[in-house]
């Protein structure tokens, strides 16, 4: 899932300073699962904003709306009938959702209420961890299912580096060295021969270095 963090209330309040009528949009997908921007978090943020404005003796009208997704036309179209009643849209979706809402409602200011952070997994209730950077050329078959791009601080393809100590990364003593994990896993799988292979220099054009990416499936187009 895409993981995000809520922005601080201060930052959100600063962005909202000039506005009195706010459409607060949550998203039922990834940000709901990582407890950042789902219906519940929309409720909490709306309540925080109302309490703050009331404390300051200022007005605010908030419509809380959580869409199935903010990255698909059909769902963001649903706010069309009433979006005009509000001065600003505050979105709690990931960066993709926020931008798509802004693309759709061009005459509206769209503000982000979250910082989108990474593609990750739920390690346990309340703990999320990064697993993928969407580099566009997966090497997991070579590395025992552990990604050296996302999980090694240096994204080394042939590690570990000298900063690996007792299985931990020099960047953070609580962070596992990805290459230690890879070697351990390959050993366990009896595939250590894969570690002997030098992985060639990566073509980063498939990642962000090639500019924004687009995927097209002609057979699915209408």
Phi, psi of 114 (to 5 degrees): -135, 160
Q: Is the peptide bond before 160 cis (omega within 30 degrees of 0)?
A: yes
Q: Which is nearer to other proteins, 47 or 165 (CB)?
A: 47
CA angle 124, 130, 135 (to 5 degrees): 150
- Secondary structure (3-state) at 142: coil
50 touching other proteins, by CB under 8 A: yes
Over its C-alpha atoms, the chain yields an Rg (Å, rounded) of: 22
168 touching other proteins, by CB under 8 A: no
Least separation in angstroms between CB 214 and other proteins = 39
Least separation in angstroms between CB 31 and other proteins = 16
14 touching other proteins, by CB under 8 A: no
Which residues from 51-110 bind other proteins, rule CB under 8 A? 51-52, 54-55, 57
Q: Do 101 and 24 contact (CB within 8 A), yes or no?
A: no
Rounded CA-CA distance 196/190 in Å is 13
Q: Rule CB under 8 A: choose which of 44, 171, 175, 192 binds other proteins.
A: 44
Q: Rule CB under 8 A: choose which of 14, 47, 158, 191 binds other proteins.
A: 47
By CB under 8 A, name the binding residues for other proteins: 8-10, 40, 43-44, 47-48, 50-52, 54-55, 57
């Amino acid at each position: 899932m895409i993981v995000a963090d809520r922005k601080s209330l201060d930052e959100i309040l600063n962005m909202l300073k000039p506005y009195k009528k706010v459409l607060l949009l949550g998203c039922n997908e990834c940000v709901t699962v990582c407890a950042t921007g789902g219906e519940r978090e929309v409720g909490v943020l709306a309540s925080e904003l109302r309490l703050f404005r009331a404390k300051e003796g200022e007005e605010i009208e908030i419509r809380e709306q959580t869409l199935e997704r903010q990255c698909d036309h059909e769902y963001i179209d649903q706010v069309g009938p009433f979006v005009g009643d509000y001065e600003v849209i505050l979105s709690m979706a990931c960066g993709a959702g926020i931008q798509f809402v802004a693309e759709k409602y061009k005459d509206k200011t769209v503000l982000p209420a979250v910082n989108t952070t990474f593609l990750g997994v739920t390690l346990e209730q309340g703990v999320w961890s990064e697993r993928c950077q969407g580099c566009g050329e997966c090497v997991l078959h070579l590395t025992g299912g552990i990604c050296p791009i996302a999980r090694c601080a240096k994204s080394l393809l042939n590690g570990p580096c000298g900063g690996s100590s007792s299985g931990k990364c020099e960047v953070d003593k609580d962070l596992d060295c990805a290459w230690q994990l890879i070697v351990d896993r390959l050993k366990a799988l009896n595939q250590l021969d894969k570690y002997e292979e030098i992985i060639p220099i990566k073509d980063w054009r498939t990642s962000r270095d090639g500019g924004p990416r687009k995927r097209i499936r002609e057979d699915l187009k209408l």
